[in-house]
């Protein structure tokens, strides 16, 4: 162990122990503060200056096997980033990455966990830089970008480190095995076990949450001994380029090969992920994105263990409300439907509402009234353009606007989408949500994902019908999240039973500052792997245990 | 929990705790005694009587959706079993199996572990019946069949139960999560987690070790909440039919649906595994057998998590011997090459020997002399027909004899195979091993598996060449086991380094009663999943953790 590595173990062991405790107790735990005000006040301005200076330039990243420069990111707030990144010659880069494996493997779980924690710690120092990078690639408002791309992503990374360390530490690394032989002397063997990495890990990043969705796989693979090649979405390179550069610096400082983490920025039309995913050296793949490519990976990258997070139809069963909760629930739902223009893989899409109406105390709100009340709550939330922009952020790509146009012709529009003028970035495309009412019979409308701010009020026969529809549509078409609103414990229990089968984590009667869209590191799972929206969860032992293999030797004692 | 289930928990909790400790300490542990003499002496004769009476009859097994009878097993000792088994109407059986899931899931990990342990305990009571069934389907000699199909398989099953329980118990099932909100009151959510099974699990049995290779997957899937459909090899149905019947009886006694475990016996030409493997209800598959079908499963059964154990080229690096160990090592190797006619997926095939010879103390044994000495050790071991039959057992299928005929024309025959007359079963096909000398350049000969008693002395430039060849051939073509014989610690260290990459568990300088062919439950891994011979190991957390998914609900406290 280098002196630096020993220092890192001493420094980060308490953090690792706290994280290991948190994944067992699943009570609230956060290592990286989520509030901007927890950080030195000068950091934001310094990061903004860095970002402005970075525009139009070459991102400094030295890694082997570079054969040119690529770029092409455009901020959803309306300007070209103009930043270029080294383009990798894969035939040179992959062997260079593999060369670092033996020393990284030999370092052992505790050193690797400490080095990974140091990478996350240095990323935390860079939270504002990463946030500006995330804001101008994902379209998130700055406040959301700070939390999601910064501390929340870092906490998810630390969670993956803790799970990896836990999986690596399930048994001794050496033992004397003594088998009785009756009257003869026992057989005694000395046995040794090594946790061997699988090979090169590929992280295929997404456009909307490049770090939050990228860090679990990145750190799960790295802590278990694998080099990690990060292939960002061509529209969201900068947040991951910052990440890779920080990781390489920490690895080198700790005495390891910096090529254990590398960037594979691509030309937008190169389909590099497809090429990389079939390379025999690539043995682990983490992907967030479309069903189409996720399914392709699962079917074709058979030389690798593939972890996918894809699309689904996140669903809410609306049954009944306490009178004093109705307004709070509608405001809460309005925020869920609006946050980041519902460009979250966890945003709700399908609201299953009895066509006979929704009891609120003694009063029955008709299906139409419920829709009008929900629409009014959204309009209230987004009535002011400045506040609307802070909630909605910007539209991440033109498909969202096309989908909104298409949704205008579907069912009965309960709430129309409108453009919002962003007070700071007039070129940004900002849109409010559209809500359409359809019937449960219109499965062809709502049984697939409308990524973005389109949701459906779906008229069902009654709540039992809603729950059955929830179970069936989520089982068949996938979902990462679900919710139920009911004053009836029997309905809640039935929704839970459906959830155990459909596998979309359930939020019950939420009205407070935690939304169904949000999962908290160290406590909430993100996805389950039980339905088509994902084949894994962030983070459990199944997410880490197959990223390495125990290999053993044995000899007479 | 039924009274019976509570009793089982009380009875088996100490066994589970001991098994949980063993998988962490990896010292010697065995729950089911491996010695025949540990069992009541009358059991063997009673089981023999049962077996004789079972021949030619209908195996009594009541399960839903039966549409006829199939059979066709023939003992490798030279007679037809003539036993028929119910043939399943899969469209009726699969839904019946799924119906048992909710109660089995709700029972929780501890009850399921106790019920699984009770199944294993009742299988232990049936060890002699299972052994006669295994002997007359696999061709193993009775002594080996007793250990491998009986207590050793049961211990492997218990190991899988312990791992499954461990994975299910990694965190609390309920927690209050309280997030500080600065000056405002904290957010408090009550969270609940359920371990949900994946769906129906399919176990595809093999001909040579139907229970030893079948129990890890069977019990790993069952303890994690999944129903298990057992599809035996058409030539080795009886051991698994006994297993399924015992499991169904225990499940029913404990108050669960017996259809949680069912048999899918097939007509030999039905290719039922292929049909079952693509059923959408089947979400887990455990397979032992050919590379061809294993690779097909990995590529095609993408709706399921597939665990495969296939073929490889188990390899021995021969470097040097201490003079007082040479004879013991040759006798030991002779046994490894002969045991069960080398019809084990762990039997050695490739012996890498420097063409310049093997130092034994001050003396250099030439390549030819080493071959002659090894051949003499095999001849000594198998010189007496009765003892030979007890070591070799019977040839399991005609392909072995064809392969021996083919091997006669390969390289230089160092030891020819000969037929042995079995003293008790004169109709049995019994063959001694063939050893051929080839050159390292003859990769086309030795870079694929010759399943059965064919091994190669491969002349290499030197031990460094041997180790590089070992690393490369095993990485490319797979192996479950490997060995090195050397007096030089540097050679041993280099062999270990190669092993960490090639992933075939290494035995070093073994001469005693533990052979490279053998892996001990609770301590040795079987396969690693790092090379093409297997994509998993018996048993680690990666083998169990993805057999279930955590699903959660959360609500305001």
SS3 B456: strand
Q: Is A357 left (phi over 0), alpha (psi -120 to 50) or beta?
A: left
Q: What is the pLDDT of residue B459?
A: 98
Q: How far apart are CA B81 and CA B85, in angstroms?
A: 12
Please give the backbone phi and psi of residue B224, each rounded to the nearest 5 degrees, phi first: -90, 10
In SS3 terms, A403-444 reads as HHHHHCCCCEEEECCCECCCCCCCCCCCECCEEEEEECCCHH
CB atoms within 10 A of CB A33: 16
Check: CB of residue B263 under 8 Å from CB of residue B86: yes
Q: What is the pLDDT of residue B269?
A: 85
Residue in chain B nearest A177 by alpha carbon = B27
Q: What is the mean pLDDT of residues A528-538?
A: 95
**Residue B3 confidence class, pLDDT cut points 50, 70, 90:** confident
Q: What is the mean pLDDT of residues A216-236?
A: 98
**Residue A322 confidence class, pLDDT cut points 50, 70, 90:** very high
DSSP assignment, residue B410?
Answer: S
Q: Which of B24, B196, B506 sits opposite A500 (nearest CB)?
A: B196
Question: What is the average pLDDT score of chain A?
Answer: 97
Closest by alpha carbon to A290, among A444, A164, A478, A106?
A478
Taking CB atoms and an 8 Å cutoff, what residues of chain B touch A302? 298-299
**pLDDT, tens digit, 9 for 90 and up, residues B196-233:** 999 999 999 999 999 999 999 999 999 999 999 999 99
Q: What is the pLDDT of residue B172?
A: 92
Shortest Cα–Cα distance, B291 to chain A (Å): 14
Q: What is the pLDDT of residue A268?
A: 81
Subunit contact A23:B553, Cβ cutoff 8 A: no
Q: What is the pLDDT of residue A267?
A: 87
**pLDDT, tens digit, 9 for 90 and up, residues A50-63:** 999 999 999 999 99
> Domain-by-domain residue ranges, chain A?
3-309+537-556, 315-508
Q: What is the mean pLDDT of residues B18-45?
A: 97
Q: What is the pLDDT of residue A269?
A: 85
Residue A412 pLDDT exceeds 90: yes
Residue pairs spanning A and B at CB distance below 8 A: 206
Interface test with B, best of A155, A524, A550 (most B CBs within 10 A): A550
Shortest Cα–Cα distance, A340 to chain B (Å): 22
Q: What is the mean pLDDT of residues A115-121?
A: 98
**pLDDT, tens digit, 9 for 90 and up, residues B157-171:** 999 999 999 999 999
Residue B1 pLDDT exceeds 80: no
Q: Which of B500, B512, B514 sits opposite A551 (nearest CB)?
A: B500
Q: How far apart are CA A378 and CA A335, in angstroms?
A: 7
**pLDDT, tens digit, 9 for 90 and up, residues B293-328:** 999 999 999 999 999 999 899 999 999 999 999 999
Alpha helices in B408-522 (DSSP H): 443-446, 463-477, 489-502
Residue B384 pLDDT exceeds 80: yes
SS3 B484: strand
Q: Which of A503, A541, A556 sits opposite B512 (nearest CB)?
A: A556
CB atoms within 10 A of CB B41: 8
Q: How far apart are CA B485 and CA A165, in angstroms?
A: 34
Q: Which of B28, B529, B556 sits opposite A179 (nearest CB)?
A: B28
Q: Which of B179, B302, B542 sits opposite A28 (nearest CB)?
A: B179
**pLDDT, tens digit, 9 for 90 and up, residues B232-275:** 999 999 999 999 999 999 999 999 999 999 999 998 888 999 99
Interface test with B, best of A184, A196, A553 (most B CBs within 10 A): A553
Alpha helices in B169-237 (DSSP H): 215-223
**Residue B154 confidence class, pLDDT cut points 50, 70, 90:** very high
Helix A101-125 to helix A127-138 angle (10° resolution) is: 90
Q: Is A356 left (phi over 0), alpha (psi -120 to 50) or beta?
A: alpha
CB atoms within 10 A of CB B171: 16
Q: Which of A27, A35, A175 sits opposite B175 (nearest CB)?
A: A27
Q: What is the pLDDT of residue B2?
A: 65
CB atoms within 10 A of CB B457: 27
Subunit contact B175:A496, Cβ cutoff 8 A: no
Q: Which of A25, A35, A541 sits opposite B175 (nearest CB)?
A: A25
Domain B315-508 has CATH 1.10.10.10: no
Interface test with B, best of A303, A346, A517, A530 (most B CBs within 10 A): A530
Residue A229 pLDDT exceeds 80: yes
- A85 burial (CB, 10 Å; 0-12 / 13-18 / 19+) is buried
| End-to-end Cα, chain B, rounded Å | 28
Helix A238-253 to helix A215-223 angle (10° resolution) is: 20
Question: What is the average pLDDT score of chain B?
Answer: 97
Q: What is the pLDDT of residue B490?
A: 98
C-alpha B7: how far from chain center? 31
Residue A2 pLDDT exceeds 80: no
Q: What is the pLDDT of residue A1?
A: 61
Q: What is the mean pLDDT of residues A6-19?
A: 97
CATH of domain A3-309+537-556: 3.40.605.10
Taking CB atoms and an 8 Å cutoff, what residues of chain A touch B37? none
Beta strand B434-439 with B454-460 is parallel
Subunit contact A551:B545, Cβ cutoff 8 A: no
Q: What is the pLDDT of residue B311?
A: 85
Q: How far apart are CA B101 and CA B197, in angstroms?
A: 8
Concatenated DSSP letters of B109-162: HHHHHHHHHHHHHHHHHTHHHHHHHHHHHH---HHHHHHHHTHHHHHHHHHHHH
Residue A124 pLDDT exceeds 70: yes
Subunit contact B520:A176, Cβ cutoff 8 A: no
Subunit contact A505:B552, Cβ cutoff 8 A: yes
C-alpha B63: how far from chain center? 27
Q: Of A241-250, A333-342, B267-276, B409-418, where does mean pLDDT reach its minimum?
A: B267-276
Residue A311 pLDDT exceeds 90: no
Residue B340 pLDDT exceeds 80: yes
CATH of domain B3-170+198-309+537-548: 3.40.605.10
Beta strand B363-365 with B358-360 is antiparallel
Taking CB atoms and an 8 Å cutoff, what residues of chain A touch B505? 551-554
Taking CB atoms and an 8 Å cutoff, what residues of chain A touch B307? none
Residue in chain A nearest B170 by alpha carbon = A24
User: Residue B331 to residues A107, A145, B373: CA-CA distances in angstroms?
Assistant: 39, 69, 10
Subunit contact B512:A187, Cβ cutoff 8 A: yes
**pLDDT, tens digit, 9 for 90 and up, residues A17-76:** 999 999 999 999 999 999 999 999 999 999 999 999 999 999 999 999 999 999 999 999
**pLDDT, tens digit, 9 for 90 and up, residues A238-288:** 999 999 999 999 999 999 999 999 999 998 888 999 999 999 999 999 999
């Amino acid at each position: 162990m280098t002196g630096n590595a020993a220092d890192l173990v001493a420094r980060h062991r308490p953090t690792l122990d706290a994280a290991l405790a948190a994944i067992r107790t699943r009570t609230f735990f956060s290592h990286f503060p989520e509030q901007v005000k927890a950080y030195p006040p000068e950091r934001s301005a310094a990061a903004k200056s860095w970002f402005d200076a970075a525009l139009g330039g070459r991102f400094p990243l030295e890694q082997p096997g570079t054969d040119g420069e690529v770029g092409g990111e455009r901020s959803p707030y309306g300007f070209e980033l103009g930043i270029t990144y080294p383009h990798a010659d894969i035939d040179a880069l992959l062997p260079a990455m593999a060369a670092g494996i033996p020393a990284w493997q030999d370092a052992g779980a505790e050193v690797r966990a400490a080095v990974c924690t140091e990478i996350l710690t240095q990323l935390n120092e860079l939270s504002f830089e990463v946030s500006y990078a995330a804001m101008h690639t994902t379209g998130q408002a700055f406040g959301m970008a700070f939390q999601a791309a910064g501390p929340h992503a870092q906490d998810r990374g630390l969670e993956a480190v803790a799970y990896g360390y836990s999986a690596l530490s399930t048994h001794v690394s050496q033992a004397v095995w003594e088998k009785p032989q009756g009257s003869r002397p026992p057989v005694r063997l000395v046995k040794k076990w090594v946790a061997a990495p699988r090979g090169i890990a590929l992280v295929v990043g997404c456009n909307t949450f490049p770090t939050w969705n990228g860090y679990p796989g990145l750190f799960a693979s790295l802590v278990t001994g694998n080099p990690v090649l990060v292939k960002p979405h061509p529209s969201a390179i900068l947040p991951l380029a910052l990440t890779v550069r920080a990781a390489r610096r920490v690895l080198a400082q700790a005495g390891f090969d910096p090529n254990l983490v590398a960037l594979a920025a691509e030309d937008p039309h190169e389909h590099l992920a497809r090429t990389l995913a079939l390379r025999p050296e690539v043995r682990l793949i983490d992907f967030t994105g479309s069903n189409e490519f996720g399914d392709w990976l699962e079917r074709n990258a058979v030389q690798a263990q593939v972890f996918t997070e894809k699309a689904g139809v996140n669903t809410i069963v609306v049954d009944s409300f306490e009178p004093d909760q109705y307004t709070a629930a509608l405001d809460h739902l309005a925020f869920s439907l609006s946050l980041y223009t519902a460009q979250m893989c966890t945003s709700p899409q399908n609201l299953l509402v009895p066509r006979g109406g929704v009891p609120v105390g003694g009063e029955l709100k008709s299906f139409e009234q419920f829709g009008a009340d929900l629409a009014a709550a959204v309009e209230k939330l987004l009535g002011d353009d400045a506040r609307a922009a802070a909630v909605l952020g910007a539209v991440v790509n033109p498909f969202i606007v096309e989908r909104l146009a298409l949704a205008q012709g579907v069912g009965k529009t309960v709430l129309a989408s409108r453009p919002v003028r962003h007070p700071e970035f007039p070129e940004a495309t900002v849109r409010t949500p559209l809500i359409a009412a359809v019937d449960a019979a219109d499965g062809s409308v709502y049984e697939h994902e409308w990524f973005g701010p389109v949701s459906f009020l779906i008229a069902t026969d009654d709540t039992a019908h809603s729950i059955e529809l929830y179970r069936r549509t989520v089982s068949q078409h996938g979902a990462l999240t679900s919710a139920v609103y009911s004053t009836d414990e029997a309905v809640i229990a039935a929704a839970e039973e459906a959830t155990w089968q459909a596998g979309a984590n359930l939020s019950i009667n939420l009205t407070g500052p935690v939304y169904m869209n949000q999962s908290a590191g160290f406590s909430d799972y993100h996805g389950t792997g039980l339905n088509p929206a994902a084949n894994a969860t962030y983070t459990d032992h199944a997410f880490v245990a197959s990223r390495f293999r125990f290999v053993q030797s044995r000899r007479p004692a």
